[in-house]
Structure 1
């Protein structure tokens, strides 16, 4: 047996110490670089170099009328199709654990170049308002399981999507037309630097209405990995043959921790996808032609059971998504429920800027056009309060057009109808969503 002398033991410990110290130094160096990169990403998202201090003050007044300084986290909006408030990096699931807060709310200046426009004829909306916590939602189907939960202190309900081989979640969306939009919010808990590079949420458009990929499909995969930039992947099959599979470079590690809002626009064969205000995918011929892909599904892969959890809420599918600029010029009037407000207030949600930006482009191009902006509410609350709120919301839209896009205030008038002119019933989330809208009328 080989004897270990004191000298050799000391030399071994010294070597181990030097190696460990050097390793820690390398680790700290890497962590420093990652922290610096994360800070750069945050600054890039939140700073508009062309925005002056005066514009910042105006934007704050739009987001939080009557307040100055840093904007507070928004309350859940009273419009469908947008984020139900920014809950940060969800502090916990009812009965589970969560992650620390990782960021604040988005601001209008960031979204001022957001060009997504949702469809104007709602086909499906579900925020699970009529379902009970712990149940599987009544307007969905699955070949596995799932239940509704709340995250942290928010009353918003979320559907937990189980991860596994070919586990599908299929909302009861009517047959998809050739042109439509899809929106939803994502939540996640348990993510860390060990989260797999295969951890992804797949949004599938398919010709199969059950629990298989189908012979014709198109999908996008949103990554949840935290240790590397994975990118967004798109793939399709047309008549059983794959024609496209590609991964677009995208670093979504920060966004995925902050309950991102996902927007998808399908215009015949063209497929576009936004995460919050940024467009990552724009493929002109991803979707099979002729409305072959009539069903939307969700599938998750690569998450550790019992540790990493993925949730979805506020799913909205709407037919259309046409260019509102042409419609306003040709018809002289448009109505949209894609302008979002905080619940019970006239505080604009940043996702509203896609529509407002298009309105500004019409006004800048057609200098002879003047518009009346008319707000409408659902029937929740009193008549007088709703009338007042509808007028304040119309004024908030006008203020955004004037302050952000430099439209002459004299070309815009405002009015509100409260709940007096519904276009649908007020007894369901879908009906209320249709009634909460803003009209633009050429004068």
Structure 2
């Protein structure tokens, strides 16, 4: 099955070959952005000069049908790479600028009011790092079809969810607590103004451990069509009562859909909240059937076969998502793996600002509090590099508090422990994600 991104344009040296045979999917998967840009320039020149009828026909077969000979704009897939000392999976720009980066990802200045706080006790994490390309992920189950792929030349792995009636779920999360968060990244391809208004990806929380709906459930549906601003749909079902929530929430996430959106979901007992990137779209106080839900499931539907694709990665389920401010004040110390960094670097991912904002609020409320910020990594890489990286990440958190929120730098000290103080097994993605953490200690 072909699961690679079919580039809208092929490198010009392959055009003649394209007339006679189907291009191998794995080969296309490895076409880098450099080749893609070169191909775009080649096609533009050939369209402009219309050198021959045969060339024009070849180009027409490559360009989007119905485009009138003009290539429809499409986000080139991006990926931050597969370094294991990373959390999340979106490219972003300078951590202290207020501008939008070249990839379209907003910086932490924009996220400075983002109020999502991820859970601090990780229950499940999967970036498919241990899965082979072309296989279905080992830690998931499905009654449909899907496989792990890479995009361009990046080692970051994604799971393609094949449209239809298939359900994708995680057997390794046997019970969901009262309060938890779910995060993941979405990548789309081929979405345009002809994509169905009913095309999209849904997340379902259910009491059924397998493929059925369940007597108790709640769901959110993210549309991916581009010709209109389609609602985000929310539903629930309670045994004996039926659906108490079934509504479309007005939203326009079309741009986000094309730019690798980060999805954040918080469940606090009956309350259900959903963010797309930094914006909160759903906040329903009484939607979740409390103490009933056990499973996290995904489903995609109404995509055009072979043209439109949806991928996910970096799925994280974590218990908590509660107010860290009270814990820091009462206990004098908190540890969180919810502050995310770019692969192998100290650049803070923008979606981490909810936690940093809460730390700022503690410091703002009590001027006598000083904090020590301590970074930790997993065991991948050398001891020396991990020690250096952990200190740089702690310094980045301090810099965000100082430059974004105006905290006096004299109230903050930094340190790093590298991989020397693990709290979980470094031989699994879950364990590594737990070990990549930041501590705040009252001084």
Give the TM-score range, shorter chain: 0.7 to 0.9
What is residue 150 of structure 2 aligned with on the other side? 150
**Corresponding residue of 2:218:** 218
Matched, 1:319 2:319: yes
Contact 1:78/1:340, CA 8 A, preserved across alignment: no
Report what 1:252 is aligned to. 253
Deviation at 1:82, TM superposition (A): 2.0
Which structure 2 residues correspond to residues 72-87 of structure 1 after superposition, within 5 A?
A: 81-85=87-91
1:73–1:86 Cα contact (<8 Å) kept:
no
C-alpha distance 80-344 of structure 1, shift in aligned 2 (>3 A):
closer
Deviation at 1:84, TM superposition (A): 4.2
Q: Provide the rounded CA distance (Å) in 2 between the counterparts of 1:73 and 1:182.
A: 20
How many angstroms does 1:140 deviate by? 0.5
Structure 2 CA distance for partners of 1:400 and 1:76, relative to 1, 3 Å: farther
Looking at structure 1, the residues matched to 79 and 360 of structure 2 have their Cα atoms a distance apart, in angstroms, of: 27
Q: Which residue of 1 aligns with 2:373?
A: 373
User: Which residue of structure 1 aligns with residue 425 of structure 2?
Assistant: 425
8 A contact 1:75–1:343 mirrored in 2: yes
TM superposition score normalised by structure 2: 0.78
Given the superposition, is the C-alpha separation of residues 80 and 380 from structure 1 closer, same or farther in structure 2, using an over 3 Å criterion?
closer
- Asked if the contact 1:77–1:84 (Cα under 8 Å) also holds between the matched residues in 2, the reply is no
Q: Aligned Cα RMSD in Å? A: 2.0
Q: C-alpha separation between the residues in 1 aligned to 2:174 and 2:442?
A: 33
Superimposed CA distance per residue, residues 95-138 of structure 1 (whole angstroms, 9 cap, x where no aligned partner): xxxxxx99522211111111111111111011111110110110
Return the alpha-carbon distance in structure 2 between the equivalents of residues 294 and 74 of structure 1.
Answer: 32
> What is the DSSP-based 3-state SS (H/G/I as helix, E as strand, rest coil) of the residue aligned with 2:385?
helix
Deviations 1:170-189 (A, max 9, x none): 12223111111000011111
Secondary structure of 2:254's counterpart equals coil
1:320-361: CA deviations, max 9, x gaps?
Answer: 111001111111100011111122221211122111011001
Q: Where in structure 1 are there 5+ consecutive unaligned residues?
A: 1-37, 39-71, 88-100
Q: Is the 8 A contact 1:193 1:227 kept in 2?
A: yes
- Relative to structure 1, is the Cα distance of residues 148 and 349 closer, same or farther in structure 2, using a 3 angstrom cutoff? same
In the superposition, relative to structure 1, how do residues 378 and 434 fare at CA in structure 2: closer, same or farther (>3 Å)?
same
Deviation at 1:153, TM superposition (A): 2.4
More displaced, 156-165 or 202-211?
A: 156-165
Displacement of 1:278 after TM fit?
0.6
Give me the whole-angstrom Cα distance separating, in 2, the residues matched to 1:385 and 1:226. Answer: 44
The alpha-carbon deviation at position 74 of structure 1 amounts to 6.0
Contact 1:159 1:313 in 2 (8 A): yes
Q: 1:80 to 1:231 in 2, by over 3 A?
A: farther
The answer to whether the 8 A contact 1:128-1:158 is kept is yes
In structure 2, the partner of 1:60 is none
Tell me whether 1:295 sits opposite 2:295 in the alignment: yes
Measured in 1, the distance between the counterparts of 2:374 and 2:210 equals 42
Q: Is the 8 A contact 1:81 1:183 kept in 2?
A: no
